[in-house]
Amino acid sequence: MARGSVPLVFQDRPWWLDVLLRGPGVYSSKRARVIITLVIAAGAAATAYSGWIHLYLWGKQFGYRDIPTIGPLFLLQGIVCILMALVTIVTRRVVVLIVTGGMLIASFCALIIAVEVGLFGWQDSWSAQYALTALYDEIAGAALLLGAAVALAWKPRTGRNGSRSQATQGHRAVGGSWVAGS
C-alpha cells in the first residue's frame, strides 16, 4: 500500500466488526467529522464529570468510602469513568462509544435503584449532594455517546461521487500483503 493512500479493509472481516471499528473518518465531509467528534467529546466530558462526582463523593468529607460495598464501587466507578472518557476521546470508535454509553446507563440505573429501593443494603436520597446532577449528567452523556454510535454505525462508507470507497471494495489480503481485486 502506498504511503498516504486510503487504509484497506479486510474483505473477509465480518460486516459487524467493520461497523464496531468505525470512527468519524467514515464521513467524507470535514464538517460532519468535526460535528461527530464534538458530540463524542461532549459525551466523553460527561463521562469524566461522572467519574469526578463519584471520586468527590467517595472522599472522606462525604463518607461514601465508609459504606460497605458502595464505597469501593464509588471508587471503582470514578476511576473507570475517567479512564473510559480518555479512551473514548482518543479512539472515537463505535465499540468504545457503546461500552462507555452502556456504563453510564448502568450507573444512572444503579442510582435510581439505590434511591428508590436501596442497593446492597443501603438507600440513597434524591436530596443527597450531586444525586440529580449525576443522574442528568449520565443521561446526557449516554445519549450523546450512543447517538454518535448510531450515526457512525448507519453511515455507509462512500466516496464523494456516492460510490463505495476504495477502502471497502476490491481488496483482499494474500499471504500477509494487500492486493487489488477486480
- Residue 4 resides in a domain: no
Burial 121-156 (b: 16+ CB within 10 A, else e): eeebeeeeeebeebbebbebbbbbbbbbbebbeebe
- Residue 75 resides in a domain: yes
pLDDT tens track for 59-92: 877 678 888 898 899 999 999 999 999 999 999 9
| Residue-level pLDDT at 153 | 86
| Residue-level pLDDT at 10 | 55
Q: Does residue 5 have a pLDDT over 90?
A: no
Q: How confident is the model at residue 8 (pLDDT cuts 50, 70, 90)?
A: low
| Residue-level pLDDT at 159 | 47
CA distances from 5 to 2, 8, 147, 167 (A): 6, 9, 30, 9
- Residue 64 resides in a domain: yes
Distance CA 14, CA 11 (A): 8
- Residue 13 resides in a domain: no
- Residue 108 resides in a domain: yes
| Residue-level pLDDT at 2 | 52
Percent of the chain with pLDDT over 70: 77
- Residue 147 resides in a domain: yes
Q: Does residue 168 have a pLDDT over 80?
A: no
Range list of β-strands (E), 10-130: none
Q: Does residue 180 have a pLDDT over 60?
A: no
- Residue 118 resides in a domain: yes
- Residue 124 resides in a domain: yes
Q: Does residue 171 have a pLDDT over 70?
A: no
Q: Please give the grid coordinates belonging to residue 114.
A: 439505590
Percent of the chain with pLDDT over 90: 51
Range of the domain at 75: 22-159+166-180
Nearest to 122 by CA among 110, 132, 134: 110
Q: Does residue 160 have a pLDDT over 90?
A: no
Report how many domains make up the chain: 1
Residue whose C-alpha cell is 436530596: 127
